């Protein structure tokens, strides 16, 4: 909408008439949004999710204090349109100043204000243009009203220059299954008729795509559609060798996404989120509540919870020493927990309490376990708290070298390939200058993984992978060939990994593992 000018009101327009015009415009916008909410309730699943959002934003148009501040602006000599713009603008600024979730509501509020101004001018509310042909919708941002009423047969994708990942555009686009890239740099430069590839998986928009870009996008699209069809099937090779596919999650609410992508359980719950940003560890009660919230969403399913991994790239002010010159080689993971025994015991206590309240199959593991003695220490301690399955993460090469002994004491091992690669290659995972070493395709990393798989399979100890390597479909097949029993990854990667396994027999996977151990998947730098 063109911004109403800030010129003094025509002397012929008295304040009371202007106030009445605003009041009726606000009432009509309120009614229109409530009507859209009603309609959304009878739409598809995603549209239904929009109904309460629309009802909530409709209330902005019925807010008496907002109406009062608009009236005051009219009394001060502003036109009705300008008073609406400024009145809404004041509250929008307040929302932005609060930041976070509230700041993203400012866009919703702005949309309501624009609708009121449109009504005052007697023009249609700003919205999505009609089109006879399918299109990629490019906008500064979209209102919930727009996103919820988009015609899915026409809208190929959404690109916005504004809006964060928790903006309603992103939330509703996701709920309606619309490909969307929000906050895309340069989106405002796109013109009608431009050809673009909207690559939501990588959060980017490819402009002026070459024939090769288009062919690659078409292939990726076809593969993704095929992979999606397998959702709901358990992970297995072509010949039926099971490889359960689990989700990595960072907070209990991530369970929803894990289910959406067909995860068979959780293979890694990083518990740091409860501790980061706090001045002291959360209480046993707080932790119990969070763990129970996650476990309750996976009745009868495996859920692997990792103990706090403080230190190195995840420093915690109340636990991590400040004077370490090589923090990755310092106090982190289980080493930190042993020094802060109360934190360790409180977390175990909370896990046992959450386990008692829920029906998931809880497995608990410690990060950065160096050898069989540390594994034994943690397993015994965990069991003394009543936990049934207690294991170790394999992230340090020493644990791979001692895997035979570890398999005698641990209930399971989960390989953290991010750290295992960092420590095997002596390359800091946070440093760009040595990033080329940070690949689990390196045969040395694969050798370490093989040592653990061989020991686990010989002694009947389950071995999983929960590092990024599990999310690479080709590498996932190699890991299955090396003898890994389960794979855990970010939920969005599950479709492609499931499809890659389903296309390969176990014998083929073993062959690829052998080739990879010979360096087939690794390109040495320079």
Q: Kindly list the residues in this chain that would bind Mg ion in the complex (CB under 5 A).
A: 395, 416, 419
Cα separation, 284 vs 297, in Å, equals 20
Instruction: Identify what 34 binds: Mg ion, ligand PEP, none; CB under 5 to 8 Å per kind.
Output: none
Stretch that binds ligand PEP, among 156-164, 290-298, 412-420, 447-455 (CB under 6 A): 412-420
Task: Tell me the closest approach of the beta carbon of residue 160 to ligand PEP, in angstroms.
Answer: 31
Which of residues 111, 419, 428, 496 is near ligand PEP by CB under 6 A?
Answer: 419
HSE-up (13 A, CA, CB side) for residue 376:
9
Sort residue 31 into left (φ over 0), alpha (ψ -120 to 50) or beta: alpha
Which of residues 81, 254, 395, 496 is near ligand PEP by CB under 6 A?
Answer: 395
According to CB under 6 A, which residues from 212 to 271 bind ligand PEP? Answer: 268, 270
Per rule CB under 6 A, is residue 491 in the interface with ligand PEP?
no
Task: Reduce the secondary structure of 302-343 to three states and give it as a string.
Answer: EEEEECCCCECCECCCCCCCCCCCCHHHCCCCHHHHHHCHHH
Cβ neighbours of 330 (radius 10 Å): 16
Cα separation, 414 vs 469, in Å, equals 12
Site string for ligand PEP, 456-475 (x = CB under 6 A): ----------xx--------
Task: Tell me the closest approach of the beta carbon of residue 487 to ligand PEP, in angstroms.
Answer: 12
Stretch that binds ligand PEP, among 44-52, 323-331, 405-413, 415-423 (CB under 6 A): 415-423
Which residues, other chains included, contact 325 with Cβ-Cβ below 8 Å and sequence gap of 6+? none
Task: Tell me the closest approach of the beta carbon of residue 125 to Mg ion, in angstroms.
Answer: 50
- Tell me how many residues contact ligand PEP (CB under 6 A): 10
Which of residues 418, 436, 457, 505 is near ligand PEP by CB under 6 A?
Answer: 418
Site string for ligand PEP, 269-308 (x = CB under 6 A): -x--------------------------------------
Instruction: Identify what 197 binds: Mg ion, ligand PEP, none; CB under 5 to 8 Å per kind.
Output: none
- Quick one: DSSP state of residue 161? S
And the tokens for 327? 């923090």
Task: Tell me the closest approach of the beta carbon of residue 377 to ligand PEP, in angstroms.
Answer: 20
By the 8 A CB rule, do 399 and 451 touch?
no
Residue 119 or 419 having the CB closest to ligand PEP: 419
The full DSSP string for 89-144 is HHHHHHHHHH-HHHHHHHHHHHHHHHHHHHHHHTSPPS-PPP-SS-EEEEES---H
Q: How many helices and strands (H and E) does the chain possess?
A: 20, 13
Task: Tell me the closest approach of the beta carbon of residue 439 to ligand PEP, in angstroms.
Answer: 13
Which amino acids are annotated catalytic? 168, 466
φ/ψ of 520, rounded to 5, equals -60, -30
Residue 254 or 395 having the CB closest to ligand PEP: 395
Instruction: Identify what 440 binds: Mg ion, ligand PEP, none; CB under 5 to 8 Å per kind.
Output: none
* Exposure string over 492-523, b if 16+ CB within 10 A, otherwise e: ebbbbbbbbbbebebebbbebbeebbeeebee
The Cα-based distances of 274 to 44, 350, 362 in angstroms read 35, 12, 18
Instruction: Identify what 417 binds: Mg ion, ligand PEP, none; CB under 5 to 8 Å per kind.
Output: ligand PEP
Cβ neighbours of 283 (radius 10 Å): 11
Instruction: Identify what 163 binds: ligand PEP, Mg ion, none; CB under 5 to 8 Å per kind.
Output: none
Instruction: Identify what 455 binds: ligand PEP, Mg ion, none; CB under 5 to 8 Å per kind.
Output: none
Residue 143 or 414 having the CB closest to ligand PEP: 414
* Exposure string over 186-216, b if 16+ CB within 10 A, otherwise e: ebeebeeeeebbbbbeeeebbeeeeeeeeee
Task: Tell me the closest approach of the beta carbon of residue 493 to ligand PEP, in angstroms.
Answer: 13
Stretch that binds ligand PEP, among 25-33, 235-243, 250-258, 410-418 (CB under 6 A): 410-418
Instruction: Identify what 473 binds: ligand PEP, Mg ion, none; CB under 5 to 8 Å per kind.
Output: none
φ/ψ of 221, rounded to 5, equals -65, -45
Cα separation, 466 vs 269, in Å, equals 10
Residue 21 or 306 having the CB closest to ligand PEP: 306
Instruction: Identify what 270 binds: ligand PEP, Mg ion, none; CB under 5 to 8 Å per kind.
Output: ligand PEP
Residue 113 or 416 having the CB closest to ligand PEP: 416
Q: In what helix (H) or strand (E) does residue 181 lie, and over which residues does it extend? A: strand 179-181
Task: Tell me the closest approach of the beta carbon of residue 309 to ligand PEP, in angstroms.
Answer: 6
Residue 33 or 274 having the CB closest to ligand PEP: 274
Which of residues 155, 288, 417, 439 is near ligand PEP by CB under 6 A?
Answer: 417
Residue ranges in contact with ligand PEP by CB under 6 A = 268, 270, 309, 395, 416-419, 466-467
């Amino acid at each position: 909408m063109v911004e109403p000018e800030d010129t003094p009101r025509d002397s012929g327009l008295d304040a009371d008439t202007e106030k009445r015009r605003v009041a009726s415009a606000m009432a009509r916008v309120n009614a229109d949004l409530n009507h859209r909410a009603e309609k959304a309730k009878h739409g598809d699943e995603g549209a239904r999710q929009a109904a309460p959002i629309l009802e909530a934003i409709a209330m902005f148009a019925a807010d008496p204090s907002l109406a009062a501040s608009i009236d005051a602006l009219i009394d001060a000599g502003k036109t009705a349109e300008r008073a609406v713009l400024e009145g809404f603008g004041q509250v929008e600024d307040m929302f932005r100043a609060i930041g976070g979730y509230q700041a993203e509501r400012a866009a919703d509020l702005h949309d309501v204000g624009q609708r009121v101004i449109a009504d005052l001018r007697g023009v249609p509310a700003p919205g999505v243009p009609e089109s006879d042909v399918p299109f990629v919708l490019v906008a500064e941002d979209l209102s919930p009203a727009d996103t919820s009423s988009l015609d899915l047969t026409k809208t190929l994708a959404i690109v916005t220059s504004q809006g964060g990942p928790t903006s309603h555009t992103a939330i509703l686009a996701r709920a309606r299954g619309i490909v969307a890239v929000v906050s895309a740099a340069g989106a405002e430069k796109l013109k009608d008729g431009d050809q673009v590839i909207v690559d939501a998986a990588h959060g980017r928009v490819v402009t002026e795509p070459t024939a090769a870009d288009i062919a690659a996008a078409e292939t990726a699209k076809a593969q993704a559609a095929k992979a999606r069809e397998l959702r709901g099937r358990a992970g297995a090779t072509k010949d039926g060798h099971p490889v359960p596919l689990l989700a990595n999650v960072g907070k209990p609410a991530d369970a929803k996404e894990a289910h959406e992508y067909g995860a068979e359980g959780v293979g890694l719950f990083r518990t740091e989120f409860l501790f980061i940003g706090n001045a002291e560890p959360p209480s046993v009660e707080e932790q119990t509540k969070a763990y129970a919230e996650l476990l309750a969403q996976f009745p009868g399913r495996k859920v692997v919870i990792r103990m706090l991994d403080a230190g190195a790239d995840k420093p915690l002010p109340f636990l991590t020493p400040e004077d370490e010159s090589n923090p990755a080689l310092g106090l982190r993971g289980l080493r930190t927990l042993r020094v802060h025994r109360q934190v360790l015991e409180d977390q175990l206590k909370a896990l046992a309490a959450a386990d008692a309240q829920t029906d998931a199959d809880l497995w608990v593991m410690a990060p950065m376990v160096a050898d069989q003695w540390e594994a034994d220490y943690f397993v015994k301690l965990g069991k003394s708290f009543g936990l049934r399955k207690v294991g170790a993460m394999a992230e340090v090469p020493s644990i791979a070298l001692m895997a035979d002994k570890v398999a005698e004491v641990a209930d399971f091992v989960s390989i953290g390939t991010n750290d295992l690669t960092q420590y095997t290659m002596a390359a800091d995972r946070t440093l760009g200058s040595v990033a080329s070493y940070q690949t689990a395709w390196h045969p040395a990393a694969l050798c370490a993984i093989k040592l653990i798989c061989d020991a686990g399979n010989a002694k009947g100890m389950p071995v999983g992978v929960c590092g990024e390597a599990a999310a690479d479909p080709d590498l996932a097949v190699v890991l299955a060939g090396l003898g890994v029993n389960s794979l855990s990854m970010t939920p969005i990667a599950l479709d492609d990994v499931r499809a890659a396994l389903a296309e390969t027999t176990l014998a083929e996977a073993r062959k690829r593992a052998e080739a990879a151990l010979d360096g087939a998947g690794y390109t040495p730098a320079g």
